[in-house]
Each structure stands twice: as structure tokens, then as C-alpha cells.
């Protein structure tokens, strides 16, 4: 259980971050980066703030370990713009605390994770034990706009990434239920996007080749047997009809998005496209990096979840959207997307209206992520 003082510390940081407008259109991440820099300096961390483009600031803060080998704790400071403001229950750019919930843009994506990382780092530093591995905290700009001015710039222009073995990031952690178990998604990869010309006349071949890729995903280490177990429940007519779920189509080799001029194919990173679509039809191929064997880390998460509740399971999963995680994976760095939330914390507000995070989610994420870092870095 999270003690009250640390919870209030986390809530204070989250409140302050939400109150700093870092929506895409505001171009104001530097203010949030400087705020976190001050907090990290108070903790005694080494800090470097980069602002290669006006308003686009990113922070890198470090706890030096006995070794140069590092783990990275990632979050981003920018948020999506606030749509349909009149439909929000509270002002999206002012943090509102009510009934053990914090409402506001970024409460989950991704200022909530930033505040949780600050709480975890504060706890680690107060223990006054030097970790074996160096711990780097990245709070970056521009993720919602593609990351070119944020994480991509840092990778291209700094040496912070030379010794990183593992990144803990966003992209997973929201729970889904079966009748007996609660599955916590863990992002092990992201789908690649291939843009092809609408004139491509063999798209029916792709659709006919499309199939559930669970066995291929298990072999590639993107999924595990818990993923297969969950998929069995999804296919059942009587299960999960009224519960939050991940639909079967998310486990197919391909997902298609048809536009007036182009077709977007979102394919599993372990699925080949050679000889299926000729080069002259491909407009763009956005790669997301290889899927790697993360089982040693996933086992740590699973064991911790079982200690909390014997009905908790992990759900390794390949997400359909893009995040900064692809930049880490393209560097060959093990990357896990995992920000665990309470089952009652709805996530529909992310990029929507009435985004919020609950006290239970904060307590759960701090407990699990702190344990994971202690198991890996100490």
C-alpha cells in the first residue's frame, strides 16, 4: 500500500503537470520539462534539459549506478488537444480532484505516468541504496506529433542511449476481463504501417491471407500462452460481451484502413510482406522495430501480479497505433509498454473527453513498477 505522503507527492506533481498546458497546439513542453527538472534536482538527480526547437523541451535525469548498463523510465510531456471541451465534466486544462480521481488532459496519457515515475524515483532515492544499473528518466516532448523533435532528436544528438538495456514505457497496462481472470496488457511491439496505392488490384489476396496470428506471435515471443487463453475467451459467444475487451481482429496478421487515395495496412512486425505487394505499389513503410524475447521481464511482472491477486494475468500484445517505443526498438533496445491501471479506471477519455486516473491506479502502478525496477536494477 502506498503511504499517504508519497501519494500526495505524486498527486501534487500530476496536478501541477495537468495545469501546464502542453497540448499539441500549445507548443509548451519546455515549461513542464523545467518543472520536473526542478523536482529531480531537489532529489539530487543529475539533469540535462534539451530544447532544440522553441517550446519543445525534453528532460533526461539520472541516478548513477555501479555499472554503466542502464534501464530507462520513459514518459512524454505533450498531450493530445482537447476535443469537444463543452462535453467535459471539468475543465480539461485544470486538474480536478474528486472522489479519489484526478480529471484533466494527460491524467493517463502521459502525465499520470510521469507523476508515477517521480514517486518511484523519490522512493528509490530515499532508500539511499546505490543501484547496480544506472537509472535514466526520460520526460520528452512531441510524442503526440510523431516524436521527431523529441525522442528521435535525443537519439540522433545525444549519447544517453548507448548503454540502455531496457525501457519501461507507456503503451500497455490497461486491464481487460474474462469471467474469472483480469488480464493486464503489456505492449511487446507495435504494428508496422504500409501505405499502398489505391490502384493496387490484389487487396483481396491480402484479405484472404489474413488470419489470427496467435501461434506465429507466440513463436516470435510477441504473445504467450496467456494471450492464447484470452483469445479463446474473446471468441466465445458468451464471454466479454459487456466488458472492456480487445477484439479478435487485433490478433490478425493485417488490419486494413481504406482511404480515398491510399490503403493503410497495419501488419504484425513478425509477419512478412515479401512477394505479396510489389514495391511500385508501396508509398511508405513505417517500421517499428523487431519483437524481442522479453520473457525474463514479463515473468517478474506476472509473479508480482499474482501476489496482488491470483486472478491477475499478463496479456502480451502488439498494439495497432504508434508511440515513441518504436524509436527504442529500432535501436535494438528491449522495450516494454506497461502502465498498469485499476480495472475500474475507464480509458475511453484518453484522446477523448473526461480523461481521469484513480487513486487505485496510482497505487497499483507504483507498487508494480517499483518492484520491477528493484528486481532489474538492484
Per-residue pLDDT at 312 exceeds 90: yes
Ramachandran class of 55: left when φ > 0, alpha when ψ lies in -120 to 50, beta otherwise: left
Q: Which residue's C-alpha cell is 502506498?
A: 2
Q: In the chain, where does the domain assigned CATH 3.40.630.10 lie?
A: 4-171+323-377
Position 55 scores a pLDDT of 99
Q: Assign 127 a pLDDT band (cuts: 50, 70, 90).
A: very high
Position 205 scores a pLDDT of 72
**Joined grid coordinates for residue 111:** 502525465
- SS3 labels along 94-129: CCEEECCEEECCCCCCCHHHHHHHHHHHHHHHHCCC
Average pLDDT, the chain: 94
Position 238 scores a pLDDT of 57
What is the pLDDT averaged over residues 208-214?
89
Q: Look at 149-158, 174-183, 291-300 and tell me which has the smallest mean pLDDT.
A: 174-183
Position 243 scores a pLDDT of 65
Q: Which residue's C-alpha cell is 488532459?
A: 105
CATH number belonging to domain 4-171+323-377 = 3.40.630.10
Pick from 40, 83, 86, 85: nearest CA to 63 = 40
pLDDT tens digits, 184-203: 999 999 999 999 988 776 66
What is the pLDDT averaged over residues 250-260?
91
Q: What's the whole-model pTM score? A: 0.96
Position 173 scores a pLDDT of 98
Position 276 scores a pLDDT of 73
Cα 30 to Cα 36: distance, rounded to the nearest angstrom: 10
pLDDT tens digits, 86-117: 999 999 999 999 999 999 999 999 999 999 99
Amino acid at each position: 500500500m502506498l503511504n499517504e505522503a508519497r501519494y500526495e507527492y505524486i498527486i501534487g506533481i500530476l496536478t501541477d503537470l495537468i495545469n501546464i498546458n502542453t497540448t499539441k497546439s500549445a507548443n509548451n513542453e519546455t515549461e513542464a520539462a523545467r518543472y520536473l527538472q526542478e523536482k529531480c534536482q531537489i532529489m539530487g538527480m543529475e539533469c540535462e534539459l534539451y530544447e532544440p526547437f522553441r517550446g519543445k523541451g525534453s528532460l533526461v535525469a539520472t541516478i548513477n549506478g555501479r555499472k554503466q548498463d542502464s534501464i530507462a523510465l520513459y514518459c512524454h510531456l505533450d498531450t493530445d488537444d482537447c476535443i469537444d471541451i463543452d462535453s467535459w465534466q471539468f475543465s480539461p486544462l485544470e486538474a480536478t480532484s474528486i472522489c479519489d480521481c484526478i480529471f484533466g488532459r494527460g491524467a493517463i496519457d502521459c502525465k499520470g505516468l510521469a507523476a508515477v515515475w517521480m514517486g518511484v524515483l523519490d522512493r528509490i532515492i530515499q532508500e539511499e541504496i546505490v543501484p547496480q544499473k544506472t537509472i535514466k528518466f526520460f520526460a520528452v516532448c512531441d510524442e503526440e506529433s510523431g516524436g521527431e523533435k523529441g525522442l528521435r532528436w535525443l537519439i540522433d544528438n545525444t549519447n544517453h542511449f548507448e548503454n540502455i538495456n531496457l525501457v519501461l514505457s507507456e503503451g500497455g497496462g490497461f486491464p481487460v476481463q474474462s469471467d474469472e481472470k483480469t488480464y493486464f496488457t503489456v505492449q511487446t511491439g507495435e504494428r508496422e504501417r504500409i501505405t499502398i496505392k489505391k490502384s493496387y488490384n490484389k487487396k483481396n489476396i491480402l484479405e484472404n491471407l489474413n488470419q489470427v496470428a496467435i501461434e506465429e506471435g507466440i513463436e516470435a515471443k510477441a504473445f504467450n500462452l496467456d494471450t492464447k487463453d484470452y483469445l479463446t475467451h474473446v471468441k466465445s459467444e458468451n464471454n466479454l460481451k459487456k466488458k472492456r475487451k480487445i477484439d479478435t481482429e487485433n490478433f490478425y496478421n493485417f488490419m486494413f484502413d481504406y482511404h480515398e487515395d491510399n490503403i493503410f495496412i497495419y501488419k504484425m512486425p513478425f509477419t512478412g510482406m515479401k512477394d505479396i505487394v510489389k514495391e511500385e505499389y508501396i508509398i511508405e513503410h513505417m517500421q517499428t522495430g523487431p519483437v524481442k524475447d522479453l520473457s525474463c521481464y514479463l515473468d517478474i511482472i506476472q509473479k508480482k501480479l499474482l501476489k496482488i491477486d491470483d486472478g491477475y494475468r499478463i496479456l502480451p500484445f502488439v498494439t495497432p497505433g504508434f508511440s515513441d517505443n518504436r524509436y527504442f526498438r529500432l535501436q535494438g533496445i528491449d522495450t516494454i509498454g506497461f502502465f498498469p491501471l485499476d480495472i475500474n479506471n475507464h480509458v475511453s477519455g484518453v484522446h477523448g473527453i473526461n480523461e481521469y486516473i484513480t487513486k487505485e491506479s496510482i497505487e497499483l502502478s507504483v507498487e508494480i513498477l517499483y518492484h520491477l525496477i528493484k528486481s532489474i536494477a538492484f
